[in-house]
Amino acid sequence: MVRRFLLYSLNHQCPVKALFSDTLQYKNIRVTALDDSTVTFLLPGRKTPVTAPLDAILSASYARGDDGDTLKYAAWEDAGKKEKEEKP
């Protein structure tokens, strides 16, 4: 289930709330890369990405204010993709 929330963050550029095993604290993260064993993410207020093992995250859920409804952002995401395709 953790992986699904991380993929949600990666695909929609939305922050998710993650519980880290070393500090047992929740932090909002925005995932920038994900593979089989590591996750790279940005923390609020920091410009440099952090890479951590996937098992360093015990739990993940929607960030505050996010309901997970991706359909309401579908038109906005499609418009952004069209703009990128139109640029030479």
Q: What are phi and psi of 72, to 5 degrees?
A: -70, -15
**pTM to 2 decimal places:** 0.76
Q: Is 31 exposed, middle or buried (0-12, 13-18, 19+ CB in 10 A)?
A: buried
pLDDT tens, residue by residue, 22-74: 999 999 999 999 999 999 999 999 999 999 999 999 999 988 877 677 666 66
Asked whether the predicted pLDDT for residue 20 surpasses 90, the reply is yes
Provide the residue range defining the domain that includes 68.
2-86
| CATH code assigned at 30 | 2.30.30.100
Average pLDDT of the residues in 4-32: 94
Domain count across the chain = 1
